[in-house]
Amino acid sequence: MGRAVTDALTDTVGMVAGPAADRDGDAAAVFAGSDVVIDFTPPGHTARHAGLAAAHGTACVVGTTGLAAADHAAMDAAAMDVALVQAGNFSLGVNLLTAFTRRAAAILDDGWDIEILEMHHRHKVDAPSGTATLLGEAAAHGRGVALDDVARRSRDGVIGERPAGEIGFATLRGGSVIGEHEVIFAAGSERLVLAHRAEDRGLFARGALTAARWAATAAPGRYDMLDVLGLKD
């Protein structure tokens, strides 16, 4: 994603990326010298980077997925001082899909089983994907429940019948798949499938740049891509 973001910057403002930063030594310098930092590091660095954003008064766009509760707590704390946009997916299509998912889940009762299927390339380290989690949260929100109370993140062995109200996740990994997601609503006699296919990683990079421009002038606070796109209810 780092390369995709620098390519998108070159395409949009003609900027040429400088040498890669010495990650540990220079992270503080990067935050100190920037209006906005776009962070697509692997899981494990988000809390530290959120702290640096707050310490240097630098807005931040976080694309990293596989986030832990401590990362969210650190981002909430940083958002008291700076604008912080965090999104499991920066594409317009996926963010529209979250709105559709929430609406469908609100309309369809728990006679409709909700399952979320995702597939990504073989190098992805976290599961379920950030997007799948985002879609699960949208479905849970539509149902008026907390995702952690109803999520089934894996199934193996003799696990019994599926309880009503469960939101299931299925993870596929392989090859070079950029990102595919389906939200399946399955009832006794019919099935509704909402789907998104990403066809180019530049899609996420362009969305992150849109978020960065937006964050540069936003008041301190914790935001997501629906805020950036003006799609919040």
Ligand X SMILES: O=C(O)C1=N[C@H](C(=O)O)C[C@H](O)C1
Ligand Y SMILES: NC(=O)C1=CN([C@@H]2O[C@H](COP(=O)(O)OP(=O)(O)OC[C@H]3O[C@@H](n4cnc5c(N)ncnc54)[C@H](OP(=O)(O)O)[C@@H]3O)[C@@H](O)[C@H]2O)C=CC1
Q: Is 136 in the site for ligand X (CB under 6 A)?
A: no
Q: What does the block give as tokens for 216?
A: 């540069």
Q: Which of 58, 89, 98, 101 binds ligand X (CB under 6 A)?
A: 89
What is the distance between the alpha carbons of residues 163 and 155, in angstroms, rounded to a whole number? Answer: 13
214 binds ligand Y (CB under 6 A): no
- Listed in order, strand segments (DSSP E) in 25-179 are 36-39, 59-62, 83-86, 113-120, 151-152, 167-173
For residue 55, the minimal CB distance to ligand X (Å) is 27
Among residues 120, 123, 141, 232, which one is catalytic? 120
Piece in contact with ligand Y (CB under 6 A), picked from 61-69, 135-143, 169-177, 209-217: 61-69
- Nearest position to ligand X, beta carbon: 179
Angstrom distance (rounded) from CA 75 to CA 85:
9
Of the two residues 36 and 87, which places its CB atom closer to ligand X in the complex?
A: 87
Q: Is 66 in the site for ligand Y (CB under 6 A)?
A: yes
Question: Residue 124 catalytic?
Answer: yes
Question: Which H/E stretch holds residue 37?
Answer: strand 36-39
Token pair belonging to 42: 């692997």
Residue 181 is labelled as binding a ligand? no
Q: Map tokens 């990362």 to a residue.
A: 71
> 């317009």: which residue's tokens?
92
Q: By CB under 6 A, is residue 124 in contact with ligand X?
A: yes
**Interface stretch with ligand Y, choices 62-70, 134-142, 165-173, 185-193 (CB under 6 A):** 62-70
Length of the chain: 233
Active site residue 181: no
Residue 130 or 168 with smaller CB distance to ligand X: 130
Locus of tokens 């879609």: 135
Q: Does 197 bind ligand Y (CB under 6 A)?
A: no
Q: With contact defined as beta carbons under 8 Å apart, do 50 and 39 qualify?
A: no
Would you say the C-alpha torsion 71, 77, 78, 79 has a positive or negative sign?
A: positive
Sites for ligand Y among residues 76-105 (CB under 6 A): 87-90
Which residues in the 56-85 window bind ligand X by CB under 6 A? 65
Q: How far apart are CA 233 and CA 216, in angstroms?
A: 23
Question: Rg of the chain's alpha carbons, rounded to an integer?
Answer: 18
Nearer to ligand X, 58 or 65 (CB): 65
Binding-site positions: 63-65, 87-90, 121, 130-131
Annotated active-site positions, please?
Answer: 120, 124
